[in-house]
Amino acid sequence: MTDTPTRPLRIVVHPDDNVAIIVNEGGLRAGTVFEDGLTLTEDIPEAHKIALVDLPRGSRVIRYGVTIGATNADIPCGAWVHEGLLELPPAPELSEVPFGGAVLPAQEPLKGFTFEGFRNDDGTVGTRNILGISTTVQCVAATVDFAVKRIKAELLPKYPNVDDVIGITHIYGCGVAINAPGSEIPIRTLRNLSLNPNLGGAPMVVSLGCEKLQPAQMLPASTLPILQGSPYVVRLQDEEHTSFGEMVAAIMELAEKRLIELDKRRRVTCPASDLVVGLQCGGSDAFSGVTANPAVGFATDLLVRAGATVMFSEVTEVRDGIHLLTARAAEDEVARDLVREMQWYDDYLAHGGVDRSANPSPGNKKGGLNNIVEKAMGSIAKSGIGTIHGVSGHGERVTKKGLIFAATPASDFVCGTLQLAAGMNMHVFTTGRGTPYGLAMAPVIKVTSRTSLAKRWSDLIDINAGTIATGDQTIEQVGWEIFHMILEVASGRQQTCADRWGLHNEFALFNPAPIT
């Protein structure tokens, strides 16, 4: 707790809330008196909740205007409302969520905003120009990683218009039930990763030869003719590869052919509507839902007004707000699709013997998030206030414009991988506790919820939304800052902290099917 004399600050999100969160860095000590006379009865850490009224046992605790739990003990006004004092309420019944096309305030189109991108033959646009080497099976991962290091050292310098070379390696492809229910998710994820806009829209694939996931199954139907003598597919078990050195040489030879093509590409002016932006939060805290996520939500609305595609995800972290999302669905079909994805994940968790209470993490709780209801209300703020235009399943490619719910688990790395498969060419990631998360295939803009983290990790955080909590900036101001940075990074004119350090996490497939 801080001993430095300072004006005590708290944040109330909604007029109906009976708790607030402490803003002051380091928290506040017992006896601290707010300007309105509210007095702390005990020490309360930063970002944690204070009772604004007496809360007898069994009382509803309200934050964001919704019930986030019921008290299991008497909590006096001014006391710390923490995880141990709350009982998790039941999740909203999926059979009772509201349907009916959303009637939301019309938002004026945002015109004239552009970025410099790489236009692909399939109509998509890349924010990077990357050679991606896909793999059909984990057995070739080490060989591809070895080859990628040599390609970067020996070939890439000859092709200055190519930004990077990455291996799309994973632990799938064999030793799995390839046709079992759920197996379509990792297969289509790999398929769509190979077609991400930042890879130029054409796959290069390394196969072993004997694996269950053959190139013909992984690649989309439109690329199947390529497999007959294709210059962009190599099988390591082919008879002409009589040594490891020849395998690596074959990969490098194919890579150079692809590099020659990619090097011809140039950035051209593209409308902001060609952006496909994925949103995610990780290492969240109680500030995330009042600073970083609402600011990203404001930027989301700006992007949608400009005609872009924006994806929000993380099923578990929106499940408790599903009634708020179906009410924003453009039509009944979209609402039904939202319910379908929630039900699928409910069943998936139940099959594993757990439920939504397995989320949040210990770090989330230390940051003031007591349970998944509170976390979900803050997470949904990233989606802004506009109409939801579509829903995509795990690993599916998004083809609609506007605000889209792209179903993913809440795991940072699985979510990022699935959003890349969905076609994401830009990523915005909010964090309260902090994480060095990054992606090689798309730039990741990090937005922090707390000024203290922005100061401590100044070389890892791109935008500080903590200024909203102290009143130094508004949600709108930070939202515009995020919007403009997206355009700058997408154009290659500005580099994110993660890219500056080369912090790129591995791909993480979601595979709910059995492993044999």
pLDDT in tens, 221-269: 665 544 444 558 899 999 898 999 999 999 999 999 999 999 999 999 9
The C-alpha atoms of residue 398 and residue 419 are separated, in whole angstroms, by 9
* Confidence check: pLDDT of 452 > 60: yes
For residues 511 and 227, the model is more confident at 511
Q: What does the pLDDT average to over 168-191?
A: 95
* Domain span including residue 127: 116-264
Which phi and psi angles does 60 have, rounded to 5°? Answer: -75, 130
Q: Answer whether residue 103 is part of any domain.
A: no
Q: Answer whether residue 481 is part of any domain.
A: yes
In a shared domain, residues 214 and 283: no
In a shared domain, residues 187 and 330: no
Q: Answer whether residue 504 is part of any domain.
A: no
Predicted confidence at residue 106, as pLDDT, reads: 78
For residues 231 and 173, the model is more confident at 173
Predicted confidence at residue 219, as pLDDT, reads: 83
In a shared domain, residues 236 and 274: no
Residue 364: DSSP 8-state: H
In a shared domain, residues 352 and 434: yes
In a shared domain, residues 135 and 184: yes
Tally helices (H) and strands (E) across the chain. Answer: 13, 21
In a shared domain, residues 308 and 400: yes
* Confidence check: pLDDT of 461 > 80: yes
Residue 14: DSSP 8-state: S
In a shared domain, residues 68 and 151: no
Domain count within the chain? 3
In a shared domain, residues 166 and 302: no
Instruction: List CB contacts of 143: < 8 A, sequence separation 6 or more.
Output: 206, 236, 244, 247, 248, 251
Q: Answer whether residue 106 is part of any domain.
A: no
In a shared domain, residues 332 and 204: no
Predicted confidence at residue 221, as pLDDT, reads: 63
Q: Answer whether residue 449 is part of any domain.
A: no
Confidence class for position 101, pLDDT limits 50, 70, 90: low
Predicted confidence at residue 225, as pLDDT, reads: 47
The whole-angstrom distance between residue 508's C-alpha and the CA centroid of its chain comes to 13
In a shared domain, residues 142 and 242: yes
Confidence class for position 105, pLDDT limits 50, 70, 90: confident
Percent over 70 (pLDDT), the chain:
96
Residue of 357, 393, 409 lying closest to 83 (CA atoms): 357
Domain end position, chosen among 243, 264, 285: 264
Q: Answer whether residue 411 is part of any domain.
A: yes
Q: Answer whether residue 160 is part of any domain.
A: yes
Domain end position, chosen among 234, 264, 294: 264
CATH number at residue 196: 3.40.50
Q: Answer whether residue 99 is part of any domain.
A: no
Predicted confidence at residue 2, as pLDDT, reads: 43
In a shared domain, residues 244 and 277: no
In a shared domain, residues 250 and 290: no
Check if the beta carbon of residue 513 is closer than 8 Å to that of residue 182. yes
Confidence class for position 5, pLDDT limits 50, 70, 90: very low
Stretch among 46-60, 201-215, 402-416 having the lowest mean pLDDT: 201-215
pLDDT in tens, 367-389: 999 999 999 999 999 999 999 99
CATH number at residue 21: 2.30.130.110
* Confidence check: pLDDT of 3 > 80: no
Q: What does the pLDDT average to over 119-139?
A: 96
Q: What does the pLDDT average to over 394-415?
A: 97
